[in-house]
Structure 1
């Protein structure tokens, strides 16, 4: 019997598998396809990402450094409202290679990482959990003391054990233009209902274009409008769900959710790489597979760390739906040098931000 079976080897699952293995636990991690594919989300992350990957991996992952963002009410020909720092705010990385790097780090730590394992059933018992997976047309069964559901916004684990759904699922799309772009500002367009569209320069890797919107909206049509205003042809189109709003509980008797499966994401950007890995670290610190009651300690720990940021993130997101005259006035008043951390909305009230605002 394994101490933990981890379902899903994205950033959250790989991070948990690595840290749990480093702590001496017997860990099996299952990925339904090939690690890193299909592409799940944008590679625009805060510089905190380097705290979570091996030092030697930075050269392979790094694509571009970002110092700010140009916010626009309309398309690329409308007035830009720049928000920036004098030092780099964020980096653009190879998103597929990030997953592979984190999975390899988990293997190096002693976790058994297996690809091509599609989990079809999760059953909790008094003393453990049975996980069934489809492997090349055959069926395999694994026993574990606990299961970590790290299998994304449409989580099979979450549904199998009856945990509640995220508050909302957005439909996100992105694609790429191969023309190199080493500029150091991203572009944000408040042209999408209840969210935004973006353009991210990726250095030699080209440019990423994307947007997200509530389900039912004509997302592909809006994406075509976005790329049309930039007069670009894109390729490698990707589409997926973005969970917003954690459910009231992410733990059951012997199962816990981490990352997108738990909607541990930023409501104002949809990004969840750093929040998911932060929650994974809390899970390793708090959960003892021989003591199911420690699942409650995980719930408390990750919510204490992230819940305020998520709540404030919801308030930031509301600004995307304000009337255009209000948006225009707000952007004009707030633009310029900032002191905000892109993962922490609470930094809007930091001494650094207040100093930047009044300078």
Structure 2
């Protein structure tokens, strides 16, 4: 019997599998397809991502360094309000490469990571959980003390454990243009209903364009209008769901959720790579697979660290829907050099940010 079956080998799942294996647990990780594919997530992350990788990962995965953002209330060509730091505030990375790197670290730590395994059922019992998956050699059932659902915004594990869905699922569209661009600023357009659109320079890897909004707001057509206004025709497109708002409970009797499955994401950007891996570390630290009661310690630990960030992130997102004159006034008043951390909204109250404003 395994200690943990991990369903999903994205950043949160691979991070948990690696750290749990390093802690001496017997770990099986199942990935529905090939690790990192299909791409459905932006590669724009905070510089903290390197705290979760091997020391040489930056050399292989880094595509560009970003020092700030230009915020537009209108489309391309509209007036921009610049926010920036003197050093890199974020990095643009090879997103598929990151997934594969993290999965490799999990395997190196001793986790049994199997690709092309689609989970079809999860059954909980008082002393174990059984995970049934369809793989290249047929259907198999694996017994474990606990299951970790790291299988994305439309989580099969979440459904099987009868846990609540996120508060909402946004519809995101990405497109990639091959023209090299090593610019230091991303562009953010507060024009999509209840969310935003973006342009991210990826160095020699080209440019990423994206837009997200609630389903039903004709996201695809709005994305087409965005790239047309920029005068580009992306050679590759993808789309996916973006979960926002974690449910009140992400644990069951012998199971727990991590990452997008638990909506451990930033409400103001939809990003969840760092939040998911942070929660994975909390799970390894707090959960004993032989003691189901320790799942409550995991619930407390990740919420203690992230609940304030998520709550403030919701307030930031509300500003996206303010009247345009109010947006212009607010952005104009706050623009300039900043001292905030892109994953931590509460850093707006930090000494670093206050010193920057006063200087």
TM-score band, normalised by shorter chain: over 0.9
Q: Deviations over 1:207-232 (max 9, x none)?
A: 00001000111011000010011000
Q: CA deviation at 1:358?
A: 3.1
| Runs (4+) off by over 4 Å | none
Cα distance in 1 for partners of 2:261, 2:357 equals 37
- Whether the aligned pair in 1 keeps the contact of 2:64 and 2:201 (CA below 8 Å) is yes
Partner of 1:234: 234
Q: Deviations over 1:280-309 (max 9, x none)?
A: 000000000000000000000000000110
**Shift of residue 91 of structure 1?**
0.2
The 1-side partners of 2:76 and 2:111 are apart by 47
TM-score (norm 2): 0.99
TM-score, normalization by structure 1: 0.99
Using the alignment, how far apart are the partners of 1:216 and 1:121 within structure 2? 30
Q: Does 1:16 align with 2:50?
A: no
Deviation at residue 137 of structure 1 after TM alignment: 7.0
Partner of residue 124, structure 2: 124
Matched, 1:276 2:273: no
How many Å apart are 1:136 and its aligned residue?
A: 3.1
TM superposition shift of 1:355: 2.2
For residues 76-113 of structure 1, what are the alpha-carbon distances to aligned partners after superposition, in whole Å with 9 as ceiling and x for unaligned? 21111000000100000000000000000000000000
Displacement of 1:40 in angstroms is 2.4
Q: Root-mean-square deviation (CA), in Å?
A: 0.7
How many angstroms does 1:350 deviate by? 1.1
**Aligned twin of 1:144:** 144
Match of 2:298 in 1: 298
Deviations 1:42-69 (A, max 9, x none): 0000000000010122111000000000
Q: Does 1:222 align with 2:225?
A: no
Matches within 5 A, 1:35-184: 35-136=35-136, 138-184=138-184
Deviations 1:235-289 (A, max 9, x none): 2211100000000000000000000000000000000000000000000000000
Q: Which residue of 2 aligns with 1:206?
A: 206
Alignment partners' CA distance in 1, 2:175 and 2:136: 30
Query: Aligned partners of 1:112, 1:221: CA distance in 2, in Å?
Result: 42
Q: Distance in 1 between matches of 2:188 and 2:152?
A: 25
Using the alignment, how far apart are the partners of 1:27 and 1:47 within structure 2? 29
Unaligned runs of 5+ in 2: none
Structure 1: stretches of 5+ with no match in the other structure: none
The alpha-carbon deviation at position 349 of structure 1 amounts to 0.9
Find the residue that maps to 2:41 and give its secondary structure: coil
Matched, 1:356 2:353: no
1:288-333 CA deviation, whole Å, 9 max, x = no partner?
A: 0000000000000000000110000000000000000000000000
Q: Deviations over 1:167-220 (max 9, x none)?
A: 110000101000000000000001100000000000000000001000111011
